Structure 1
Amino acid sequence: MNMPVEPLNNVSTHTLLEINNLSVAYGKVEALNGASLRVGEGQIVTVIGPNGAGKTTLLSAIMGVLGSQGQVSVDGTVENVPQVEIMVGRGLGLVPEKRELFTSMSVADNLLLGAFQRHCRGERDHGQTLKEVYELFPRLWERREQLAATLSGGERQMLAVGRALMAKPRLLMLDEPSLGLAPLVTREVFRIISTLREQGVSILLVEQNARAALRVADYAYVLETGQIAMQGPARQLADDPRVIEAYLGLSSRHQEMLAT
């Protein structure tokens, strides 16, 4: 049964993103069924769940990559039919699971493409934004002239996040940012997620590493078979026996290593 959206127990009371009864179907197969959630300004909200639960579908529908039914509200403005260009203009950024970099282009050019829409709006501060991204990811500065195809997995993830930040999003949506990364790189990715929140970027995090996600997040939702099965403050869910059994028990040692 789908659960109603409750106020988030954190310092922020201003809702940046709110979705209500969002549904997505692939033909007759319903991948997302009446999902509702909210992200407050300055918060990290995570969505955890098994493979095939609809987590990537959820982010794609919010961003307008997939058609959906329901409402997506950004800063109080309702979008019944989200479109990518409009959602980017509203301040949303998505880092997809597959990163989708331009591998035949340099690191610097990939980053500059992230500021394309802002440039089209007449904003010319991409040089300062680029400097900020390089400060956050010194490795990208070192690799700035290299082709994206030559980067390691961790460096590609940094580049994907950096490119999204070039659009100066108010809300950054991350789809499985630790997927396929070594433990040391995974810990660095989650450190960066915390740093971004400190810099004022709200984050909606989809992540299979439930332990690391619950540790860094303020609030959490559990998505199962396309529906929100549980929700609550992240620390509370981390101690919930149902979450421990389903997501933290069998692989707890491995996830603990990645989350530390």
Structure 2
Amino acid sequence: MNVSDAAGERNLVLEVSQLSVSYGKVEALHAIALQVLHKGEIVTVIGPNGAGKTTLLATLMGLLPARGEIVYLGERQGAGRSVEKLGMTLVPEKRELFAQMSVADNLLLGAFDRYRSGHRDHLETMDQVFDIFPRLLERREQVAGTLSGGERQMLAMGRALMAKPKLLLLDEPSLGLAPLIIKDIFRTVAQLRKTGVAIVLVEQNARAALQIADYGYVLETGELSLEGPSRDLASDPRVIQSYLGLGGQH
């Protein structure tokens, strides 16, 4: 069930240092330092709306100009560079599916870059995705626009996995979903570590994110205010008060 190419023996998947991003005169991210140490690791970035979480993912994907340094699998990245060809894939907050196309066709589009590069393993990879998301197999010929919210999130994640990423960026996968569906989605994200893919999980649902992540960062108004092993963050009074629903702020 391995949908991730081996990342080799490199220990460091991603290293971000002094990363800053501005929209005009407004600085959206300031001096961000973040690491994903090894394949299969889940790193979460939690924080309130407007903290800069989505901007961070867009910058990692090379979609925004930035100051500082992004080193992915030992190579320095920059704005405009296609990191998808290097095995970094984003599941956007809005999922951005092709609503008039079938589930199977949406998945095949996720393998387009690999197919264009000469790889012909898309049907095998699709079977692996169906192993992870059995519901998608049941809905294989169904039009994506008729899926439930949870099924659309599964399809968005499955399409990303069709690219066989080494690093998967998840932007608010729980957004708009019912609590029971959120549990299923996070359970699946946790299981993905077995495939070897590393994950950066951006979430407002801090409780769920910290339960499955290995390491966490707290992003507030464009700056990292806290970081540490997820267990430590989950027991930190500042995180409990602000993000775990016990202090009235969230």
TM-score (norm 2): 0.93
Tell me the SS of whatever aligns to 2:32: strand
Q: Is the 8 A contact 2:241 2:247 kept in 1?
A: no
Cα deviation digits, residues 40-92 of structure 1 (max 9, x gap): 2221000000110000000000001222222111111111x23352x112111
Cα deviation digits, residues 106-140 of structure 1 (max 9, x gap): 11110000000000110000110000001111111
Tell me the SS of whatever aligns to 1:38: strand
TM-fit CA distance, 1:13? 8.4
Cα deviation digits, residues 196-244 of structure 1 (max 9, x gap): 0012111100011101111100000000000111100000011111111
RMSD: 1.6
Q: What percent identity do the matched residue pairs reach?
A: 61
CA distance in 2, matches of 1:119, 1:13: 26
Please point out which of 120, 126, 130 is paired with 2:126. Answer: 130
Determine whether 1:238 maps to 2:250: no
Determine whether 1:32 maps to 2:14: no
Equivalences for 1:1-260 in 2 at 5 Å? 14-41=11-38, 42-79=40-77, 81-83=78-80, 85=82, 87-250=83-246
Q: Indicate how the Cα distance of structure 1 residues 190 and 84 shifts in structure 2: closer, same or farther if over 3 A, else same.
A: farther
Flag structure 1 segments of 5+ consecutive residues without an equivalent: 1-11, 256-260
CA distance in 1, matches of 2:246, 2:151: 30
Flag structure 2 segments of 5+ consecutive residues without an equivalent: 1-8
Tell me the SS of whatever aligns to 2:13: strand
CA distance in 2, matches of 1:151, 1:251: 36
Cα deviation digits, residues 142-169 of structure 1 (max 9, x gap): 1111111100000000000000000000
Q: Is the 8 A contact 2:52 2:219 kept in 1?
A: yes
Q: Is the 8 A contact 1:44 1:204 kept in 2?
A: yes
Q: How many residues align?
A: 240
Q: Is the 8 A contact 1:115 1:126 kept in 2?
A: yes
TM-fit CA distance, 1:250? 3.6
Q: Is the 8 A contact 1:72 1:82 kept in 2?
A: no
CA distance in 1, matches of 2:247, 2:145: 32
4+ residue runs over 6 A deviation: none
Which letter maps to 1:119?
A: Y
CA distance in 2, matches of 1:67, 1:13: 27
Which letter maps to 2:142?
A: Q
